[in-house]
Amino acid sequence: MDVMMRLILAQGMLGLNNGVFYAMLSLGLAVIFGMLNVVNFAHGALYMLGAFVALILSSYLGPWIGLDALHLGFWPALIIAPIVVGCFGMLIERTMLRWLYKFDPIYGLLLTFGIALVLQGLFSNYFNSAGTPYPAQPESLRGVVHLGFMVFPKYRLFAILFSIVVCFLTWFVIERTRLGATLRAGVENPELVQAFGINVPRMITLTFGFGTGLAGLAGVLAAPIYSVSPLMGANIIIVVFAVVVIGGMGSILGAITAGLALGLIEGMTKVFYAPAANTVIFFLMVIVLLIRPAGLFGRQN
Amino acid sequence: MAEPAATTTSEAGEALLSVRDLNAYYGESHVLHGIDFDLRKGEVVTLLGRNGAGRTTTLRAMLGLVDRRSGSVKVRGHEIIDLPTHRIAHLGLLGYCPEERGIFASLSVEENLMLPPTLGEGGMSVEEIYRMFPNLEEVRHRTGMRISGGEQQMLAIARILRTGARLLLLDEITEGLAPVIVKTLGRMIGDLKQRGFTIILVEQNFRFASRLADRHYVIEHGKVVDRIDGTDLENSMERLNRYLSV
């Protein structure tokens, strides 16, 4: 295999690695936007919260409660952190967001933006803004895998596969099951779904909990790759919003596809014209907005 | 909550539904000004009146789909005026078919059919429904928007028959449909009556309604202004025409 091909494939894998995080985060945003019509600006902060829950479980929780030997590692965190973040999300929905549905959606956006700032501020106060390495990467996922064209960290490969499975399952539940049909119907005509005897407010709370839980899950997965920092969410969320706009607001398939594709494109750009790698997604966003304002997978109306 | 035994409340002849002094508001506008009417088990009644008289709002107010409401709505012995919308269907075994049919475009025909949750026993099985509406079986994998208006209307009714609802609120089911389909719907309503369903029809098509109903309530300006028994219809035609003419 020639050098160029190897380089392309290698950057492709790294791009895919970023792409799965874009996909998971924009998927959560899409689920929330579809059901609540709220642009959740706190999504990045909740991703950060997920990573911090993992860090706290492994390094801080034990000393805090006086059990120095207690270190909850990666696998428990992979389950606990999304639940914690999801519950936190449901609390936000129940106590704050709920009161804003009858007003312009801009109020929901402002509220979640405020929550993001508060969370970032709180964590910046107590943790190192430059980032803390996550110490509990599982033994079984250390080391590298030989892919033929490159050696690739085993953990990153795991993160890619795991995220793709999560995205596929989410898509499957929403598009192919009865529960998903109820959700889609609730998006389309909540009043009628309610009249049929389905508790729509509870469905909305659970949907928000699920969407924010996905952000928490992405945070845990990101912790061993990037260092855990109070600003990690603010950095990624701008790109994720561009991904959501390109995929189409509220489109499940659009969020997943655009997330993966844009990660890949970002990686490829590094091969061909590295200086544009950080901005290529925004160029694409502008082009998509000009040609298909509702996004590639959005309904054009 | 102690559920009054269904056999005592739903015995033929007893009131299944009684609406008293029902007032409803959309925002600042006061739409219903004290609606009163009663329904016994197995009856078919129509709400007649001009557009905007408050017939659709009467159904919506029963379901809690208005901004504010007051008065009393008792179904099967339960007062439902203060309940949240999602509990009303369960307590009252209510099935609602809205005027715009409410077929979900993002769901397939079959998903539309399976959407409303089961409210009680005795709902029709999917096989029975497909036997009653053979067209629906043929198009069951299409999305809700890619079927004909008649098929949409049948789907909108079929999906509430699956749930075990016993009191059907049907809003303008003949609107915009070809005469041959209206005829089929008429046969279907007759069939449902035979099976003991209690039905409220909001109808514009008076000829359709007149053959089916036990009783007609005329609604004007958010009030029931007249009540005509089905048997008395011949003698009351002149009166009715006056109400309905523009």
What pLDDT score does B155 carry? Answer: 96
Per-residue confidence (pLDDT) for residue B7, from 0 to 100: 41
pTM beyond 0.95: the answer is no
pLDDT tens digits, A235-268: 899 999 999 999 998 889 999 999 999 999 999 9
**Strand-pair partners of B45:** B200, B215
Q: What residues contact A34, with CB distance under 8 A and at least 6 apart? A: A187, A250, A252
What is the spatial distance between Cα A267 and Cα A150, in angstroms, rounded to a whole number?
Answer: 15
Residue of higher predicted confidence among A250 and A162: A162
CB contact under 8 A, A193 and B115: yes
Q: How many CA atoms lie within 13 A of B196 on its CB side?
A: 11
pLDDT at A1: 65
**Nearest chain B Cα distance for residue A212, angstroms:** 24
Chain B interface mutation, best of A102, A189, A191, A196, highest count of B Cβ atoms under 10 Å: A196
**Residue A111 — very low, low, confident or very high, per pLDDT cuts 50/70/90?**
very high
Q: Token pair for residue A163?
A: 């995220």
Q: Does B85 touch chain A (CB under 8 A)?
A: yes
Using the Cβ of B120 and the Cβ atoms of chain A, whether some distance falls under 8 Å is answered with: no
Residues 6+ apart with CB under 8 A from A39: A29, A33, A105, A108, A109, A112
Q: What percent of chain B has pLDDT over 70?
A: 94
For A83, counting Cβ atoms within 10 Å of its Cβ (0-12 exposed, 13-18 middle, 19+ buried), the class is middle
Judged by CB atoms closer than 8 Å, whether chains meet at A188 and B105 is answered as yes
pLDDT, residue B6, reads 41
The Cα of B143 is separated from the nearest Cα of chain A by a number of Å equal to 12
Is B106 near chain A, with CB under 8 Å? yes
Q: Is the pLDDT of residue B54 over 60?
A: yes
Of the pLDDT bands very low, low, confident and very high (cuts 50, 70, 90), residue A208 is: very high
Could you please report the per-residue DSSP string of A234-300? HHHHHHHHHHHHHH-TT-HHHHHHHHHHHHHHHHHHHHH-GGGTTTHHHHHHHHHHHH-TT-SSS--
Chain A: nearest CA to B90, how far in angstroms? 6
For A38-89, write each residue's pLDDT tens digit. 999 999 999 999 999 999 999 998 888 888 888 899 999 999 999 999 999 9
Name the band, by pLDDT with cuts 50, 70 and 90, for residue A149.
Answer: confident
What pLDDT was estimated at residue A70?
A: 84
- CA dist A278 and B242 (Å) reads 74
* Chain B residues touching residue A197 (CB < 8 angstroms): 86-90, 116-117, 119, 163
Average pLDDT, chain A: 94
**What interface predicted TM-score (ipTM) does this complex get?**
0.90
B89/A187 CB distance under 8 A: no
Distance CA A51, CA A45 (A): 10
The whole-angstrom distance between B106's CA and the closest CA on chain A is: 7
Identify which of B104, B111, B116 has the shortest CB distance to residue A189.
Answer: B104
- At a CB cut-off of 8 Å and minimum separation 6, what does A131 contact? A226, A227, A228, A229, A232
Q: Which residues of A touch B92 (CB under 8 A)?
A: none
Q: Which residue has the tokens 């299409």?
A: B142
Percentage with pLDDT > 70 across chain A: 99
Q: Using one digit for the tens of pLDDT, what is the confidence trace for B92-126?
A: 999 999 999 999 999 999 999 999 999 999 899 99
DSSP, residue by residue, A156-209: HHHHHHHHHHHHHHHHHHHHHSHHHHHHHHHHH-HHHHHHTT--HHHHHHHHHH
Residue A221: closest CA among A25, A14, A10: A25
Rounded to an integer, what distance in angstroms lies between the CA atom of residue A258 and that of residue A27? 10
Chain B residues within an 8 Å CB radius of A188: 104-107
**B80 interaction partners in chain A (CB closer than 8 Å):** none
Instruction: List domains and CATH numbers for chain B.
Output: 15-88+200-246 (3.40.50.300)
> What pLDDT does B11 receive?
43
Flag if B117 and A198 touch (Cβ within 8 Å): yes
Lowest-confidence region among A76-80, B80-84, B242-246: B242-246
Q: In this predicted structure, what is the pLDDT of residue A148?
A: 85
Say yes or no to pLDDT of B154 above 70: yes
B115:A185 CB<8 A = yes
The single residue listed with the structure tokens 């504010």 is B68
Residue A183 touches partner B, C-beta closer than 8 Å: no
The pLDDT of residue B3 is 44
Identify which has the larger pLDDT, B8 or B163. Answer: B163
Question: Do A193 and B89 lie within an 8 Å CB cutoff?
Answer: no
Mean pLDDT for B205-220 is 89
Question: How near does any CA of chain B get to the CA of A250, in Å?
Answer: 13
Residue range A13-22, pLDDT digits in tens: 999 999 999 9
**Tens digit of each residue's pLDDT (9 = 90 or more) over B4-42:** 444 443 444 578 999 999 999 999 999 999 999 999 999
- Residue B1's pLDDT band (boundaries 50, 70, 90)? very low
A192 → chain B, closest CA residue: B102
Q: Where are the domains of chain A?
A: 23-230
Distance from CA of B103 to the nearest CA of A (A): 9
